[in-house]
DNA sequence: CGCTGTCGTATTGACATTCTATACGAGCGA
DNA sequence: TCGCTCGTATAGAATGTCAATACGACAGCG
């Protein structure tokens, strides 16, 4: 995952959250996830294949996703990913984690 | 750095931001940084020594901090860290990074 | 028909960061 | 003197991400 202007560091660990969100909007194949993440973050997050596929495999392993081979709109062989019930729970949990953390940092930055 | 309930994953990369913020409020020794971070995040982030000291050394190496030996309020030998001008610039830069990212994720989570 | 580009998936190797666990010296109080 | 807290420090492992590279298949074009 990259946050454009060359900086890349800030925010590992949000990749799962963004992928879960993308798939929560509907099943997608790998590159589709990547594009949807870019779209919903308005280009702020770019997920490269080298980050994307290991993450998808990891999340499938964890039981948050199920995958099946299909064919893309362009008639290419593509692997579609779909959230499981556990995946939706995980998503909800990561959202509230995110909210807690974002709030905490926001407050921290205002401290005097 | 730990985010209590046992979860620990979400949010690597914010450690620097929080340390810079803590030191931007005034010079401190190592454990003091740890305590201030805990305080300003209201207990949401706990920075353990094994994360703290490597981070401080790394940031000193980067020229964001200068360190000097002194003595704590309890009369113990302690190493005080102070932001440099470069450190203040880095802080500003990380704050705006954070704001961009928090905004982008916030928006992303609202997508439909 | 062959060429080239794009789509889509995948892996490898390196790198940075963080965590757990452990260590140790020095001051303080009983 | 014993034990506790303070304060600093490191080693080892695990994790997650990135850059680079690869490859098969479809599509369009000359």
pLDDT, tens only, A54-110: 999 999 999 999 999 999 888 899 999 999 999 999 999 999 999 999 999 999 999
Q: How does residue A8 score in pLDDT terms, banded at 50, 70 and 90? A: very low
Determine the pLDDT at residue A52: 94
A82: tokens are: 């779909």
Tell me if B88 is assigned to some domain. Answer: yes
Cβ distance B3 to A44 less than 8 Å, yes or no, reads no
Give me chain B's average pLDDT, please.
89
The contacts of residue B50 (CB under 8 Å, 6+ apart) are: none
CATH number of the domain bearing residue B59 = 1.10.10.10
The contacts of residue B44 (CB under 8 Å, 6+ apart) are: A100, A101, A104, B3, B4
Name the residue range of residue A30's domain. 14-110
Indicate the pTM of the whole model.
Answer: 0.88
Of A41, A108, A111, the CB nearest to B108: A41
- A3 or A21, which is more confident? A21
Tell me if B2 is assigned to some domain. Answer: no
Q: Are A64 and A83 in contact (CB under 8 A)?
A: yes
Kindly give the parts of chain B with pLDDT less than 50.
Answer: 4-10
Question: How many distinct structural domains can be found in chain A?
Answer: 1
Of B10, B13, B108, the CB nearest to A21: B108
Parallel, antiparallel, or unpaired for β B65-71 and B77-83? antiparallel
Tell me if B6 is assigned to some domain. Answer: no
Determine the pLDDT at residue A11: 61
Determine the pLDDT at residue A2: 60
* Cα three-residue angle B6-B21-B66, rounded to 5 degrees: 110
Tell me if B106 is assigned to some domain. Answer: yes
Determine the pLDDT at residue B13: 79
Cβ distance A40 to B14 less than 8 Å, yes or no, reads no
Tell me if A7 is assigned to some domain. Answer: no
Tell me if B55 is assigned to some domain. Answer: yes
Express as a percent the part of chain A with pLDDT over 90: 76
Rounded CA-CA distance B1/B14 in Å is 9
For A23, the closest chain B residue by CA position comes to B112
**Closest alpha carbon to A112 in B102, B76, B26, B32:** B26
Tell me if A86 is assigned to some domain. Answer: yes
Q: Are B46 and B55 in contact (CB under 8 A)?
A: no
Rounded CA-CA distance B86/B90 in Å is 6
Rounded CA-CA distance A23/A83 in Å is 6
Rounded CA-CA distance B103/B109 in Å is 10
* Cα three-residue angle B13-A19-B105, rounded to 5 degrees: 55
Tell me if A2 is assigned to some domain. Answer: no
Determine the pLDDT at residue A13: 77
Distances (CA, A) of B59 to A55, A67, B17: 30, 43, 11
Determine the pLDDT at residue B5: 44
Query: What is the count of residue pairs from A and B with beta carbons less than 8 Å apart?
Result: 98
């Amino acid at each position: 995952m990259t946050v454009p202007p060359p900086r890349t560091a800030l925010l590992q660990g949000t990749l799962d959250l963004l992928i879960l969100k993308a798939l929560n909007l509907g099943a997608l194949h790998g590159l589709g996830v990547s594009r949807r993440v870019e779209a919903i973050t308005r280009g702020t997050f770019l997920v490269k294949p080298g980050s994307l596929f290991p993450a998808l495999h990891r999340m499938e392993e964890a039981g948050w996703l199920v995958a099946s081979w299909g064919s893309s709109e362009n008639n290419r062989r593509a692997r579609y990913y779909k959230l499981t019930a556990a995946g939706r729970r995980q998503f909800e949990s990561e959202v509230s984690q995110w909210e807690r953390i974002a709030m905490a940092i926001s407050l921290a930055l205002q401290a005097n």
